[in-house]
A = this chain, B = another copy of it.
Amino acid sequence: MNFSSALIEKGVDAFSSLPGIGRKTALRLVLHLLKQDTNVTEQFGEALIKMRRDIKECEECHNLSDDKICRICADQRRDRSLVCVVENIRDLMAIEDTSQFRGLYHVLGGIISPIEGIGPNDLNIESLISRCEKGGVKEVIMAISPTIEGETTLYYLAKKLQPLDIQISSIARGVAFGGDLEYADEITLGRSIVARTPYER
């Protein structure tokens, strides 16, 4: 792309440095901002800069937070005896969006992956153990992706938590609601038969 303006080129460079945004999309975004008032761009840029500067990690659960303790951990109406372990913040938000969970979370910040060189010490595992050791936690729910790395992480965490008197559970796996059986993959379908649940009348 030939730019007749170095300023536009820098704007396009900025946007196209983001994941999933190519130079054509970046140009479209830049031209959009140039059509608006100057203060639209100022508010846009300043919102992002302020967000990045002021964001903190919750000291309890490692969720991203505006304060030292995140909104979820600070909410006294939530069940503090339940801790749901998630890989990252996106998974936490996905579970929050279901409105089905009223306990607390613990964000690992990744999963154990020897291929990518991520070991237990790179994750927020020590803080999970010490949270559980403090007492008050009755159940830890593992909401970790059912991949090989996920299963490894789950196994490691279960072993670490074994000495404590805490129930460990894992989110249910099976055929998705609304999903056609014939399109379910073999492993999921096979496991969903083995792990069948009794029909409740």
Report whether A44 and B48 are in contact in the complex, using a CB–CB cutoff of 8 Å: yes
Chain B residues whose C-beta falls within 8 Å of the C-beta of A27 in the assembled complex: 90, 93
Report whether A5 and B43 are in contact in the complex, using a CB–CB cutoff of 8 Å: no
Interface status of A184 (Cβ within 8 A of chain B): no
Report whether A53 and B38 are in contact in the complex, using a CB–CB cutoff of 8 Å: yes
Chain A 1-48 interface residues, beta-carbon cutoff 8 Å to B = 1-8, 10-11, 13-14, 17-21, 25, 27-34, 38, 41-48
Pick from B6, B25, B33, B64: contact of A66, CB below 8 A: B6
Report whether B64 and A8 are in contact in the complex, using a CB–CB cutoff of 8 Å: yes
Report whether B45 and A49 are in contact in the complex, using a CB–CB cutoff of 8 Å: yes
Min C-beta distance of A99 to chain B, whole Å: 8
Can you offer 14 A-B residue contacts whose CB atoms are under 8 A?
A4-B70, A5-B64, A5-B70, A5-B71, A7-B55, A10-B47, A19-B32, A20-B25, A21-B29, A33-B51, A34-B64, A42-B53, A45-B45, A46-B49
- Which A residues contact B (CB, under 8 angstroms)? 1-8, 10-11, 13-14, 17-21, 25, 27-34, 38, 41-55, 63-66, 70-72, 89-90, 92-93, 96-97
